[in-house]
Structure 1
Amino acid sequence: MKVVSNFFKLSTLLVMFLFISCSDDDNETVDPPMVETTTIVDLAVDTADLSILVEALTAANLVETLQGDGPFTVFAPTNEAFAAFLTANNFSSLSDIPDDILTQVLLNHVVSGTNLSTNLSTGYVSSLSTAGAGGRNLSMYINTNSGVIINGVATVITPDVEADNGVVHIVNSVIGLPNIVDHAVANGSLTSLVSALTADGNTTFTDLLSSTDTDFTVFAPVDTAFSAFTNPNDNDINAVLSYHVIPGTAAFSDDLMNMYVTTAATNADGDNLSQYISTDDGVVINGSSQVALADIVATNGVVHAVSSVIDLPTVTTFAVADATFEPLVAALTEGTPATDFVSILNGEGPFTVFAPTADAFQALLDSNMDWNSVSDIDEALLTSVLQHHVVTPGNVRSSDLTNPGDTSPNTLEGDAITISLPGTGDNIADVTDGSGNTVIGIVVVDVQANNGVIHVLNKVMIPNTSN
């Protein structure tokens, strides 16, 4: 037993000696073997036909970016593509391109993620370029109906060159920074819109929507919307097209709420027409046209594709579209069946309508314990009340009122009302109705329709019922 015990002791000492000898040789450790990686930049450097792209990436200080982890999908223009781009833009060399422009153009060829050609589908993605309106990432339209075409200008000629940090698709053109017109032309679902905008050689819209002087929001009807549009009011098609354009702002979907905006279309007097946007159930324009695809980002604004053409509005368009006016609509229809107010207010006009809110009508109902709805009000009385809210003929905007001072137009009912500017408290203007009530305020002005204008009231006006 003593011999066995000594043997185990000796064995243990030998193992410990070997372990120390192997692991403590001058405290050196053996590094794992190096694994070489191939980045997107390495692929470009190794491809002779991408030498100008490498030069451009170097000039724009984007080499390190595309050597990063990514993953990235890069649509890489050939040398011939870059040469054509330089010629088309009157640049003699890359050094002539301003650094910020070159950077954004190059980033507009890069998409996040590894997107092999088999994973690409027709639709929009966001590039890494932040040259979009408001500093947003530009949209990129990929069309896979016949090969792969980017923004209608660049065709993939060599797909799926894979790197460890993404994939490269070689393209035959440089992809420029798209404006609104570029996006419209590239998208095959907007061909009817482009045809309408350019009919008979018209360049008004293409010049306007290519401008960089201001941003635009465009609600663009898709082809099926145009084919369904019958132009029932025989409106000028150019005015209808202008009505889809909101100049002066790029209103992205996350900026939208229940709101009125001002379009590029005008009425006969040159007043810009309003548009009502509702976000209660998706994004709906004037209660009829749904946004089907939002936030197509261009350098000079944003495009929202819509499901139907938005016709020029009448004053009843806004009354029906804006839930604030539901009791008013009920009063104009259910409460006064003997008078076809809808047809009247859809007429040529022009009308000035003072439209009470839902709260204003509720206050009127609360003033009489026998009234639970507008249908409970005597029809003759309700008819005269509604007529007391319409001034005709005339498109009386807030700028037409005496300021400061009083304006006293006659209403359709016969009694005059008095509008006093400036208003008190939260009122834009104060109103005295035909019966002498003075606690009435205009809270929203100049909702402009094609046949008149609406001003919103916080109280229902009552005519002089003694005459």
Structure 2
Amino acid sequence: MKVVLNFLKLSALLAVFLFISCSDDDDGTTDPPMEETTTIVDLAIDTADLSILVEALTAANLVETLQADGPFTVFAPTNEAFTAFLAANNFASLSEVPNDLLTDVLLNHVVSGTNLSSSLSTGYVSSLSTAGADGRNLSLFIDTASGVVINGVATVTNADNEADNGVVHIVNSVIGLPNIVDHAVANGALSSLVGALTTDNNTTFTDLLSSDTNVYTVFAPVNDAFTAFTNPNDNDINSVLSYHVIPGAAVSSDQLMNMYVSTVATNADGDNLNQYISTDDGVLINGTSSVVIADVIATNGVIHAVDGVIDLPTVTTFAVADATFAPLVAALTEGTPATDFVSVLNGEGPFTVFAPTDTAFQALLDSNMEWNSVTDIDEALLTSVLQHHVVTPGNVRSSDLTNPGDTSPSTLEDDAIKITLPGTGDNIADVTDGAGNTDIGIVVVDVQANNGVIHVLNKVMIPDTTN
């Protein structure tokens, strides 16, 4: 009897609970029944062929991440894909994969946003993995030319599995963490570069750019750039390729500015060649090659695709590319038509050029009321002045100068200048010109070209006009 009574009491309490739960709100409406939410994790759990993925997400503590609002796009490897990944990397089981590596790899399959297959297009997106150089988000290359292929290794086999917090595309391979070479190989628009890097079974570049002991910034010419390149100076192609690689830094587009950078390529003396990067209108290298795709992030650096092969520079390359030297270029061309300075300074050299800035030339013009531009200067005088800024033969770098002390090289004008290290004030070095002027300073040193080196002056030097 007690059992029956207890049962009746329980039933009554349940009825009251249900009545309260289903009663009208204060505004007279009835609460709708709770709707179930299907997250990306729920979808993976319900898909038998994604069981290892679920196990991996659990081991890496990423379940809550993919249960969050997102939205996310997940490229989900099958069990077979995970099995192949473990075998290829000599892991007997998922438990042997280091947790940080597992986390980076899994997040490299996740992209922000709901990206259905109909909205995917060929190009780069950022994954949630921060295994990129300097902790940046790795890039994924999506190729939709034939289906959907990610980083050249994983093909979507079952697309558009929608969840409430995103979408899952099932793929047939685990997407590894790409280095610079992996990204170059994945993008068909860089196939000519890959071919040039590996011709005659050359492994120098692939070994270098696959290394995880250093980071690099690579300006990668697209296929059309290689087609258009005629190698007019007959430079060694391996040197040209090396000239596209900046070692020691992964420089993203937002870090680029008007600047000189040092490359892997060297001159005959083993001095690393510089590039001049201008950001006044987009990103332009040496005044000839523009960045068309920026910030392809790899584990060991960054790639910026460019629309032109960047040839090895001469000293005139930098003079023309750097707007600071615009008056110098005008002096070398328009101001001295009887002397083909450009051909001379594009020659074999090596030359050491002391290049006055635009401010330095303006000060020279201001010193004579009759001069409004460099073309107003008497051509014979201007020719003598320009020759006074070139030392040859020799690639005289700052490390070749006496420090501390004086170095007195001879110029093309047949008189000497005196360089004194260390300099005074903001000068790296002080200079005494042929006319005895001592208020001249070198403000930038060692801008290295293939046929010589440039040092930047804050004042135009005047030769000894009495000899």
TM-score range, shorter chain: over 0.9
Question: Is residue 2:84 matched to residue 1:84?
Answer: yes
* AA at the equivalent of 2:218: V
Match of 1:303 in 2: 303
Is the alpha carbon distance of 1:42 and 1:24 closer, same or farther for their aligned partners in structure 2, counting shifts above 3 Å? closer
Match of 2:41 in 1: 41
Query: What secondary structure, in the 3-state scheme, does the structure 2 residue paired with 1:87 have?
Result: helix
* C-alpha displacement of 1:350: 0.1
Structure 1 gap ranges (5+): 1-21
Match of 1:100 in 2: 100
Match of 1:138 in 2: 138
Match of 1:282 in 2: 282
Is the alpha carbon distance of 1:338 and 1:24 closer, same or farther for their aligned partners in structure 2, counting shifts above 3 Å? closer
Match of 2:418 in 1: 418
How many angstroms apart in 2 are the aligned matches of 1:367 and 1:158?
Answer: 76
Match of 1:437 in 2: 437
How many angstroms apart in 2 are the aligned matches of 1:60 and 1:369?
Answer: 75
- Contact kept, 8 Å, 2:431 with 2:438, in 1: the verdict is yes
Match of 2:377 in 1: 377
Query: What secondary structure, in the 3-state scheme, does the structure 1 residue paired with 2:167 have?
Result: strand
How many angstroms apart in 2 are the aligned matches of 1:450 and 1:23?
Answer: 85
- Contact kept, 8 Å, 2:315 with 2:452, in 1: the verdict is yes
Cα shift readout 1:24-67 (whole Å, capped 9, x = no counterpart): 99xxx975411001110011101111000000000000000101
Query: What secondary structure, in the 3-state scheme, does the structure 1 residue paired with 2:309 have?
Result: coil
How many angstroms apart in 1 are the aligned matches of 2:30 and 2:324?
Answer: 76
How many angstroms apart in 2 are the aligned matches of 1:432 and 1:90?
Answer: 67
Match of 1:6 in 2: none
* C-alpha displacement of 1:167: 0.6
How many angstroms apart in 2 are the aligned matches of 1:96 and 1:286?
Answer: 49
Match of 1:272 in 2: 272
How many angstroms apart in 1 are the aligned matches of 2:224 and 2:308?
Answer: 8
How many angstroms apart in 2 are the aligned matches of 1:251 and 1:156?
Answer: 32
Cα shift readout 1:98-150 (whole Å, capped 9, x = no counterpart): 11111010000001111111111110011111111111111100000001000
User: How do 1:144-223 residues align onto structure 2 when only pairs under 5 Å count?
Assistant: 144-223=144-223
Cα shift readout 1:197-240 (whole Å, capped 9, x = no counterpart): 00000000000001111110000000000000000000000000
Query: What secondary structure, in the 3-state scheme, does the structure 2 residue paired with 1:198 have?
Result: helix
Cα shift readout 1:235-278 (whole Å, capped 9, x = no counterpart): 00000000000000011000000000000000000000000000
Is the alpha carbon distance of 1:43 and 1:419 closer, same or farther for their aligned partners in structure 2, counting shifts above 3 Å? same
Q: Which runs of 4+ in 1 moved over 3 A?
A: 22-25, 29-32
* C-alpha displacement of 1:23: 6.7
Equivalent pairs counted in the alignment come to: 444
With 251-260 and 127-136 compared, the bigger mean Cα shift is at 127-136
Question: Is residue 2:337 matched to residue 1:337?
Answer: yes
Match of 2:452 in 1: 452
Match of 1:19 in 2: none
Cα shift readout 1:287-323 (whole Å, capped 9, x = no counterpart): 0001011100111110000000000000000000000
What is the TM-score normalised by the length of structure 1? 0.94
Match of 2:247 in 1: 247
Match of 1:7 in 2: none
Is the alpha carbon distance of 1:306 and 1:23 closer, same or farther for their aligned partners in structure 2, counting shifts above 3 Å? closer
How many angstroms apart in 2 are the aligned matches of 1:383 and 1:23?
Answer: 97
Query: What secondary structure, in the 3-state scheme, does the structure 1 residue paired with 2:274 have?
Result: strand
Match of 1:126 in 2: 126
Structure 2 gap ranges (5+): 1-22
How many angstroms apart in 1 are the aligned matches of 2:310 and 2:303?
Answer: 15
How many angstroms apart in 1 are the aligned matches of 2:117 and 2:24?
Answer: 50
User: How do 1:12-31 residues align onto structure 2 when only pairs under 5 Å count?
Assistant: none
* C-alpha displacement of 1:73: 0.5
Task: Give the alignment's Cα RMSD to 1 decimal.
Answer: 1.3
How many angstroms apart in 2 are the aligned matches of 1:445 and 1:390?
Answer: 14
Query: What secondary structure, in the 3-state scheme, does the structure 2 residue paired with 1:355 have?
Result: strand
* AA at the equivalent of 1:277: I
* AA at the equivalent of 1:88: A
Query: What secondary structure, in the 3-state scheme, does the structure 1 residue paired with 2:342 have?
Result: helix
* C-alpha displacement of 1:338: 0.4
